[in-house]
Amino acid sequence: MPELNLTSAPAHLRHGSNIGQPLTRRDGVLKVKGQATYAADNHPPGMLFAVTAVSGISRGRVASLDVVAAKRHPGVVDVMTPDHKPPLAVDPEIKTNPFVFRMEVLQSDEIRYANQPIAVVIAETLEAATEGAALLAPRYEVQPALVGLDAGESFVPPVVGVGNPTELHRGDVEAGLASAEKQIDAIYQTPPQYHNAMEPHAIVASWDGDRLQIDMPTQGLMLSLARIAELFGIAHDKIHIRSPFLGGGFGSKGLMAGPQTLGIMAAKLVGRPVKLVLRREQMYGPVGHRAPTRQRLRIGADGEGRLTALDHHARTVSSTFDDFYEPAADASHTLYAAPAIRTSHDAVRVNTGTPLFMRAPGEATGSIALESAIDEMAWACGMDPLAFRLKNYAEVEPISGKPFSSKALRACYEQGAARFGWAKRSLQPRQMRDDAGFLVGWGVGTATFPALMFQAQARAAIRRDGSGVMEIGAHDMGQGAWTALAQIAADAVGLDIDRVEFKAGTSDLPDAGIAGGSAHTATAGAAIHSAGAAVIAKLADLATNDERSPLFGAGNAGVIARDGRLVRRDDESRSESYAEILARAGVAEVEAGGTGAPNPAAMEEYAMHAHGAVFAEVKVDPELGQVRVTRMVGAFAAGRIVNPHLVKSQLFGGMIWGLSFALHEEAITDRRSGRIMNANLGEYHIPVNADVPPLDVITVDEHDPHVNALGIKGVGEIGITGSAGAVANAVWHATGVRVRRFPIRIEELLTQS
Amino acid sequence: MKQFDYVRPATVTEAVAAAAQPGAVYLAAGTNLLDLMKGGVSRPDRLVDVTHLDGLDQIETLADGSLRIGALVSNADLAHDPGFATSYPAVAEALLSGASAQLRNAATVGGNLLQRTRCAYFYDTASRCNKREAGTGCDARDGENRGHAVLGWSESCIATHPSDFCVPLVALDAVVEIEGRNGRREIALDELHRLPGNTPERESALEPGDLIVALRLPPAARGFSAHARYLKVRERTSYAFAVVSAAAALRIENGKIAEARLALGGVAAKPWRARAAEDVLRGVAPTADAFQEAAWRALADAKPSGDNAFKIELARRIVVRALTLAAAGTPARVPALPASPFASTSGAIHA
């Protein structure tokens, strides 16, 4: 029986019995009790501890390491260095596909960035390995570090993000600017930021001959497995990875990281299981980050406040040895109906670990600049910033001219503004004060994120007792995949969620693709949905072809799966339970596979994006410049909401991240050494509870028949976009000071009093 | 990590003897020391754990009206001690504005006085730091230094002392009781911390083995309770060190300032007592002009040590605000957001 096409609307599905319910996370009790086993919680017998020694300089080479001193330390078993390490099957410098990034796995003594691993000490205890690493006392040959956005000659990279064109344009931007009555020409800067997942990158690796068992947090089980297989020259089926829970990933655990590879190498070197966990400061280097940007926006508008042109250029950085370019300017492709749009990027190379996808890569950096600039233009036109956005509302995607598959942004603006009380806002800045004398400012930002789909497979089964099984190597990073995907699975096989055994998080299950791009629920969900449809179709075949069944003759399309029974569509009095069907057929279980994938025809025809509108209130001390966000309302339209409870949590998290982007987060890089000077959670500021105001999330109804079979657009990243700009714009409205360098610092707001 | 000896002396005398050895350090709650050890910044040979010593965890009012606080009293216990916040409101507010609730529960009075700077170059062992390793140089001087000192710094060191607690203490003339190899002595808290000069590695007046056993607030300190505030500007609402802070305490009689106390935090290698500012406030009415004048006096000698000129202007404004708040009167309760400019914002429930 052929597997069902995932984009066909399946007749059997009855949304609402599981999908749409605000279930609390099913792994919550385990986590509260400390019983959820994260990678570093595993301790196989005989396990040793590995600690990486990392580079103190960011460019040069390691001249010497005191391996003798380290090895002499009690408890140290071995020291892995470029001269003493197991061989790899392929050169880690070779990029076999765009998703392979170069990694530092002791292939040479060259140092390309600070905190690069330069040796691994393996010992009986963590303490011994730590001291062994300290005793290596590396000496360096130092070269001047390349630091900052002006570190060298800029160049135009071939692509930005994942294969996006570096430059795109539509219409004549220069003519549009020339004809404009109002012009904005402003430069915005965003700092380097680090993912800082609560759980550090960790691995527990055990070799048994050529079989490899791995516990490791990953957002991409099969991508990691394929990379490991390639690096170590072993077959895929020799590798088993467990990744049931991640303490956050945010893009930094999407691809196999160098230090995790070192853990596998260390286990091979010593012939015993090895655990390697990065220290917090060691995460500021080899596991990716968000690159800094400097963005220039030139915008023109006519006398009525209609955009005539939008030119967005972004400068960013990549490492000296690999390529990832934050696609910041691409944020200007989709939101505002300028007749002429141009986006472009250039870059310089610096001594840094290669930048990587970090929650809303490009969208987050680009959005804060775009939303600030649009706000500046609204003010230049003498218009309310929300009215200005509505005036320039894009009915079709501006850069492509395609219709949107769905777009409820107008409703987001309306509902968000109503909830926030936006109508009472003063047009002029620095007009509103509270009773205590603090400056009050209100800002708005538009949120947008593409509705993406990747590739995934799932396997479904109905067992003889009438229960269901759904298998997919999906990833729960904390976002709630264990719950949301199980809800989809339950509906897909027409059972209550407690009657479906949902398996995820290991590499022996069908490939769920990558948990990234806000596409995991949509992609894995589509595969689950299609596998469910396929297994139900098999079951229906058994029943409808059996003359002893009350469903005999109903035909495939003539039955509905519901509550563990197949029900005749045209006569609900005729039904039969799954268990009865299987028992009579003498079959232990039926099983079927399904796939989730993008629909190229729909993508060709439609622009697919989630949207939202975020409103923020800040208070600013008029003399001292300290800022506090006091209210935020976000209204988001993201297609079908699988679990409103988890979706709100995701959107809350995104909005807090946006607040953080505007006011707090920055990796401070020493301008000479290239070292990150605040590589810890005390000094790398993110909001604490006292910084987070009451948040209000509205999910706006949106039905999208084109994005995928389930109509899911994804909510993992969109909350950041819009929010950062809304906070920045609120600070301007409070103070009259337009800060274009983020995060906004106290000193920028001390100019007036 | 580095192997070290751990000793737990039974008496103060034993503790002093044990800690007088080269390479020995005292361990109290360890909220700073353990981080320093994990980062390889501090590599002691011996930890002398004083947390089990008897008699160092008392808060007592002495016959002369002084308050004597044992060195092992936790920051949280002191801040929440009945009557303490009433008598010394700026000190309580400073305590509650520091660190996080968990850290305040652990951190001790003695340890707070001796916490190390938060200069990133001191913590980063790949950087040069005269304080960490004498004579190696100061990478902060031309580095990322917008948070560094604007008063009392030298070319050798531009680090600041991070304590909130010490700022009102130094304003109130707190005294430190020290047990050393030659018995007991006491010094003014203002004399405990040293400015860097050419020897930034010498941070305090303590000699090897010296143990702070108590802190004393003299009788006069209570006299400011009606008009005492601590104000702290920071980069997030809680759990951040001060960019600049100030403790202001006034004794107001017949509409005039009979006596003023003022100290600044986050500006120098020690809590910075601003005596010149205090002098201009004596005998004058608590007006905005008087506070402006005091602010200019307080920062008269300030100069940027890097990208931190804004801290001088910010410090002036904080002085004016802290004096204004103090003059307005101590609030009946410690605010929900202690020492925050947003302390008066209604609905704040976090500390």
**Contact indicator for A415, A698 with CB cutoff of 8 Å:** yes
> Which residue is associated with the tokens 């620095």?
A430
Q: Does A148 touch chain B (CB under 8 A)?
A: no
List residues in chain B touching A: CB distance below 8 A: 1-3, 39-40, 100, 118, 120-121, 124-127, 139, 142-144, 146, 233-240, 243, 310, 313-314, 317-318, 320-321, 337, 340-342, 344-345, 348, 350-351
Distance CA B116, CA B112 (A): 9
Q: What is the DSSP letter of B235?
A: S
Which of B144, B239, B341 has its CB closest to that of A624? B341
Q: What is the DSSP letter of B64?
A: T
The answer for A 670-689 residues in CB contact with B (under 8 A) is 670-673, 675, 677-678, 683, 685, 687-689
Query: Which residues span the domain enclosing B26?
Result: 5-52
Q: Is residue B258 part of a domain?
A: yes
Mutation pick from A282, A351, A689 vs chain B, by most beta carbons of B within 10 Å, is: A689
Q: What is the dihedral of CA A471, A472, A477, A478, to 10 degrees?
A: -40
Q: Which CATH architecture has domain A39-144+196-283?
A: 2-Layer Sandwich (3.30)
Nearest CA to A671 out of A192, A282, A288, A283 is that of A192
The two most distant CA atoms of chain A are separated, in Å, by 87
Distance CA A496, CA B38 (A): 50
SS3 A431: coil
CB contact under 8 A, B314 and A747: yes
Instruction: Return the axis-axis angle of helices A221-232 and A258-270, rounded to nearest 10°.
Output: 50
Strands A117-123 and A76-80 turn out to be antiparallel
Q: How many residues does chain B have?
A: 351
Q: Is residue B267 part of a domain?
A: yes
H or E segment and range at residue B2? none
Contact residues on chain A for B102, CB-CB shorter than 8 A: none
Which residues, in sequence order, are bridge partners of residue A501?
A469
Which of A131, A677, A689 has its CB closest to that of B350? A689
B242-265 pLDDT, tens digit each: 999 999 999 999 999 999 999 999
Query: What pLDDT shows up at residue B2?
Result: 86
Q: Is residue B196 part of a domain?
A: no
Distance CA A224, CA A228 (A): 6
Alpha helices (H) along B97-228 = 101-106, 109-113, 120-123, 166-171, 189-192
CB contact under 8 A, B143 and A671: yes
Contact residues on chain A for B238, CB-CB shorter than 8 A: 688-691
CB contact under 8 A, B345 and A746: no
Q: Does A339 touch chain B (CB under 8 A)?
A: no
Query: What pLDDT shows up at residue B348?
Result: 41
Query: Which two three-digit tokens encode residue B113?
Result: 């006085």
Distance CA B286, CA B262 (A): 14
Q: What's the Cα-to-Cα distance from A655 to each of A283, A724, A743, rounded to whole Å?
A: 24, 8, 15
**Contact indicator for A193, A358 with CB cutoff of 8 Å:** yes
SS3 A712: strand
Q: Does A59 touch chain B (CB under 8 A)?
A: no
- Give the fold, CATH level 3, of A149-195+288-400: Aldehyde Oxidoreductase; domain 4 (3.30.365)
> Which residue is associated with the tokens 């390889």?
B40
Q: Is residue B272 part of a domain?
A: yes
**Cis peptide bond N-terminal to A87, omega within 30:** no
Distance CA B233, CA B325 (A): 14
Task: Give first-to-last CA distance, chain A, whole Å.
Answer: 75
CB contact under 8 A, A675 and B314: no
SS3 A520: helix
Instruction: Return the axis-axis angle of helices B309-328 and B288-298, rounded to nearest 10°.
Output: 140
For residue A747, the distance in angstroms to the closest alpha carbon of chain B comes to 6
For residue B66, the distance in angstroms to the closest alpha carbon of chain A comes to 35
Considering chain B, what percentage of its residues have pLDDT values greater than 90? 96
Query: What pLDDT shows up at residue A12?
Result: 42
CB contact under 8 A, A626 and B320: no
Nearest CA to A591 out of A13, A3, A14 is that of A3
Strands A695-699 and A627-637 turn out to be parallel
For residue B239, the distance in angstroms to the closest alpha carbon of chain A comes to 7
Q: Does A196 touch chain B (CB under 8 A)?
A: no
Q: Does A15 touch chain B (CB under 8 A)?
A: no
**Contact indicator for B101, B74 with CB cutoff of 8 Å:** no
SS3 A744: coil
For residue A620, the distance in angstroms to the closest alpha carbon of chain B comes to 9
Q: What's the Cα-to-Cα distance from A246 to each of A673, B315, B335, rounded to whole Å?
A: 33, 44, 38
Contact residues on chain A for B236, CB-CB shorter than 8 A: 663-664, 685, 687-688, 690-691
Alpha helices (H) along A212-362 = 221-232, 258-270
Distance CA A28, CA B347 (A): 30
Q: What is the DSSP annotation of A70-121?
A: HHHSTTEEEEEBTTBS---SS-TT--SSTT-----SSSSSEE-STT-EEEEE
Contact residues on chain B for A114, CB-CB shorter than 8 A: 126
Contact residues on chain B for A131, CB-CB shorter than 8 A: 1-3
Contact residues on chain B for A621, CB-CB shorter than 8 A: 341-342
Distance CA A739, CA A751 (A): 11
Which residues, in sequence order, are bridge partners of residue B25?
B47
**Contact indicator for B33, B42 with CB cutoff of 8 Å:** yes
Question: Number of folded domains in chain B?
Answer: 2
Nearest CA to A244 out of A487, A476, A439 is that of A476
Query: What pLDDT shows up at residue A553?
Result: 87
Q: Residue B259 belongs to a domain with what CATH number?
A: 3.30.390.50
Domain map (residue ranges) of chain A? 39-144+196-283, 149-195+288-400, 454-594
* E-assigned strand segments in chain B: 5-7, 24-27, 46-49, 59-61, 67-70, 175-180, 183-188, 211-217, 228-233, 244-253, 256-265, 272-273
Nearest-Cα residue of chain B relative to residue A131: B1
Q: Is residue B176 part of a domain?
A: no
Query: What pLDDT shows up at residue A1?
Result: 28
The answer for A 97-136 residues in CB contact with B (under 8 A) is 114, 127, 130-131, 134
Q: What is the DSSP annotation of A525-545?
A: HHHHHHHHHHHHHHHHHHHHT
Which of B40, B236, B237 has its CB closest to that of A134? B40
Residue B314 main-chain phi, psi, to 5 deg: -60, -40
- Amino acid identity, position A176: G
Q: Residue B22 belongs to a domain with what CATH number?
A: 3.30.43.10
Q: Is residue B122 part of a domain?
A: no
H or E segment and range at residue A628? strand A627-637
Q: What is the DSSP letter of B332?
A: S
A143-172: string of b/e by CB count within 10 Å (b at 16+)? eebbbbbebeebeebeebbeebebebebbe
Distance CA B99, CA B114 (A): 15
Sign of the dihedral defined by the CA atoms of residues A557, A562, A565, A570, in that order: negative
SS3 B222: helix
Write down the ipTM of this complex. Answer: 0.96
Q: Does A90 touch chain B (CB under 8 A)?
A: no
CB contact under 8 A, B350 and A690: yes
The edge-to-edge listing of strands for the beta sheet with A182-190 is A168-170, A341-350, A307-319, A293-301, A182-190
Sign of the dihedral defined by the CA atoms of residues A139, A144, A150, A153, in that order: negative
> Which residue is associated with the tokens 């072993």?
A234
Contact residues on chain B for A628, CB-CB shorter than 8 A: 237, 342, 345
Q: Is residue B9 part of a domain?
A: yes
Contact residues on chain A for B1, CB-CB shorter than 8 A: 127, 130-131, 134
| Residue contacts between A and B (CB atoms, under 8 Å) | 108
SS3 A259: helix
CB contact under 8 A, B317 and A624: yes
Q: What is the dihedral of CA B243, B244, B245, B250, to 10 degrees?
A: -170
Q: Does A669 touch chain B (CB under 8 A)?
A: yes
CB contact under 8 A, A623 and B321: yes
CB contact under 8 A, A626 and B342: yes
Nearest-Cα residue of chain B relative to residue A132: B1
Distance CA A266, CA A204 (A): 10
Domain A454-594 CATH (choose: 3.30.365.10, 3.40.50.2000, 1.25.40.10, 3.90.1150.10): 3.30.365.10
Please, what are the averages of pLDDT over each run of 10 residues along chain A (753 residues)? 30 62 94 95 98 98 98 98 97 88 97 98 97 97 98 97 96 98 98 98 97 98 97 98 97 96 98 98 98 98 98 98 98 98 98 98 98 98 98 98 98 98 98 95 98 97 98 97 97 96 98 96 98 96 94 82 94 94 96 97 97 98 96 98 96 98 98 97 96 96 96 97 98 98 97 63
Q: Is residue B251 part of a domain?
A: yes
Residue A61, classified by CB atoms within 10 Å of its CB into exposed (0-12), middle (13-18) or buried (19+), is: middle
Q: What is the DSSP annotation of A672-709?
A: TT--BTT-STTTS----GGG---EEEEEPP---SSS-T
